[in-house]
Amino acid sequence: MVDLVKILEQTKAVAKEAGAFLREERKIFDRQKVEQKGLNDLVSYVDKHAEKIIVTKLQEILPEADFIAEEGTAGREGKEYTWIIDPLDGTTNFIHGLPIFAVSIGLKHHDEIIMGVVYEVNFDECFYALKGQGAYCNGDPIQVTGSKTLSESLIATGFPYSAFGRIDDYLKVLRSLMEKCHGLRRMGSAAVDLCYVACGRVDGFFEYDLKPYDVAAGVIIVQEAGGKVTDFRQGDDYIFSGEILATNNLIHLEFEKEIQKVWPL
């Protein structure tokens, strides 16, 4: 029988080990070594090596598991457990020396995310959750805010870097939110944005054109902290649809309505 509590502790250690590697590499990183996977989609040897560290360790922890990982690591399909990994969420921040980037590791059991670990490297903050066990940061319980309306909320988002076909609709949503909330913030890491919803630093987060490894770990951390996560259609396809809305639950319906006013459904 799989001991998920033990696996969580081991996964936290793996995330921190990969994070330590990222921290040291950031000190000596040469931007000339950056590769471009697609339009504004950047990668370096740092992402790739961090993924090797994580995958090697996780294979030892749970040998029977499959992988979905940003830099291409994959196992056999149809497994009971699947690790969903982003070795460096916030690559552009990392490359430019901006201080928000993270290691993100989620664990899926069949079709359900049951565990998430996000290690934000610069502030040495390890966010984590196990289904039914609450959400934590560095050992302390965390929870979402009690803000009841958008008018008293701070919202996080991200900007598309290649899927510009919906940019006009996205800008309409931003304009509407600017008029209705305390402000908008763009951190550059969806995993960190989700954790900031979970610990109450922001009240909500939305973004489109995301990948499963951007959000898998963060969504369960939000949920276990008392928040709500959906896609833009009030559905539960927020891991693979590319659309995600995460809030403190209290503002969720109002937030959904603002998006749906202009977003093509």
pLDDT at 36: 62
> Residues for the chain: how many in total?
265
pTM: 0.93
Mean confidence (pLDDT) of the chain: 90
Residues 261, 2: Cα–Cα separation, whole Å: 45
- pLDDT above 50 for 159: yes
pLDDT band at 37 (very low <50, low <70, confident <90, very high): low
- pLDDT above 60 for 76: no
pLDDT at 154: 98
pLDDT at 226: 98
- pLDDT above 90 for 256: yes
Question: Domain coordinates of the chain in residue numbers?
Answer: 4-141, 150-260
Lowest mean pLDDT among 50-59, 126-135, 199-208, 255-264: 255-264
**Class of the CATH domain delimited by 4-141:** alpha beta
Residue with more model confidence, 167 or 264:
167
- pLDDT above 80 for 102: yes
CATH number for the region 150-260 comes to 3.40.190.80
pLDDT at 163: 66
pLDDT band at 142 (very low <50, low <70, confident <90, very high): very high
Residues 95, 228: Cα–Cα separation, whole Å: 32
